[in-house]
Amino acid sequence: MVGPRLPGNEEWNGVDPSRTDFSILSMATLEETEIQQETRPKEGLDVPWQVVVHNDPVNLMTYVTMVFQKVFGYPREKAEVHMLEVHQKGRSVLWSGVRERGELYVQQLHGYLLLATLEKTG
Amino acid sequence: MEIARRKDHLEISELDPFLAELLRQVPTSARAEGDPAAEARIYSAPSSAPRDELCSEWKAYVKPELRRLFQTAIETVAMDLAQLSGNEKTFANRSLKIPENHAEAWLSALNQARLVIAAKNDFTENELSDHCRSPIGSRRDLSLFQVNFYGFLQEFILREINPLAAGD
């Protein structure tokens, strides 16, 4: 990562992944746990998810490039390729993998005010 | 207006009263509360399916953290902007020093303000690309100038704090 952090951003960068696992947060009783298991875990474990960034006409190209470098640790050239893809094609897939990690990335991107979504692959 | 990097801060000097007032407006302009379009842009959905379970979880758990993050940046900027207070009735040019460790807060607050203004005015992409439009006209023209002025400052801050990302 390059440069200083946003004040208060420590909670994003040093976030405990369990904090973003909402199924864990809501598991107060065994009964509720069983409900969660019926509704969520299979899709989270088996299906790859992707982090998609969408174009918006306000965010500066240099700013978007900087954010990709900071959030994903991409070198400038790779960050610029994704930024241009967002600008020209309207969207770019920045990352794919397990759901919980993807949620954390989307959370960070929203912290930088980019339009980002988590989508199932395929 | 002159803008330069000093030893441990960024300095905007020769600020005329009009631009100084626009800068003073950053914290107010960044407030999305009460405007549905602005709120929707600042707290955008994490999924393209609005009924997705993730969206409701996001609203409950992530949105409050984002609100706190954005508010912290605005408060930092408001603190720096206190340098411009006190002589509102004079027409003398002013200077503003931004400590280097406040630069990211400024980037965030300027971005919030630009997004909120654009959402409230529903600016088109063509309007946002029209950098030659005069601020002297309608309220809409002034808002567009404000978005572009804040964008100019963002570019400068980015170039100074992260020269590699800015392409220098």
- Which of A75-79, B30-34, B157-161 has the weakest average pLDDT? B157-161
Residues of chain A with CATH 3.30.1390.10: 47-122
* Shortest distance, CA A68 to any CA of chain B (angstroms): 10
Given this model, what pLDDT does residue A12 score? 36
Compute the distance between CA of residue A115 and CA of residue A59 in angstroms, rounded to an integer. 10
Among the partner-chain residues B105, B125, B165, the one whose CB lies closest to the CB of A62 is B165
Given this model, what pLDDT does residue A30 score? 39
ipTM comes to 0.89
Q: Is the pLDDT reported for residue B166 higher than 90?
A: no
- Residues of chain A with pLDDT > 90, as a percent, come to 58
At which residue do the structure tokens 């931004």 appear? B98
3-state secondary structure of A52: strand
- Residue B157 tokens read as 């801050």
How big is chain A by its Cα radius of gyration, in Å? 16
Q: Where are the domains of chain B?
A: 2-166
Query: Would you give the distance in Å from CA B156 to the centre of its chain?
Result: 13
Domain A47-122 class? alpha beta
- Residue A34 tokens read as 């069983």
- Residue B149 tokens read as 């002025």
The overall average pLDDT reported for chain B is 88
End-to-end CA distance of chain A: 30
Given this model, what pLDDT does residue B31 score? 94
pTM score over 0.95: no
Given this model, what pLDDT does residue B85 score? 81
Task: Please report, for residues A65, A80, B122, B164, the alpha-carbon distance to residue A77 in angstroms, rounded to integers and kept in the order given.
Answer: 9, 5, 33, 10
Given this model, what pLDDT does residue B135 score? 65
- Residue B118 tokens read as 């654009």
Cβ proximity of B82 and B96 under 8 Å: no
pLDDT in tens, B117-146: 999 999 988 888 876 766 677 888 899 999
Residue in chain B closest to A44 (alpha carbons) equals B54
Q: Is the pLDDT reported for residue A32 higher than 50?
A: no
Compute the distance between CA of residue B168 and CA of residue B166 in angstroms, rounded to an integer. 6
Residues 36-95 of A with CB under 8 A from B: 39-40, 56-60, 62-63, 65-66, 69, 76, 79
pLDDT in tens, B46-98: 998 766 788 888 988 999 999 999 999 999 999 999 988 865 556 678 889 99
Residue in chain A closest to B105 (alpha carbons) equals A6
Given this model, what pLDDT does residue B91 score? 65
Given this model, what pLDDT does residue B87 score? 59
Per-residue confidence band for A14, with pLDDT thresholds at 50, 70 and 90: very low
Q: Is the pLDDT reported for residue A15 higher than 80?
A: no
Residues on chain A touching B152 (C-beta within 8 angstroms): none
- Residue B152 tokens read as 């100019």
A–B CB contacts, 8 A cutoff, strictly below: 112
- Which of A27-31, A91-95, A97-101, B67-71 has the weakest average pLDDT? A27-31
Say if the Cβ atoms of B69 and A103 lie within 8 Å.
Answer: no
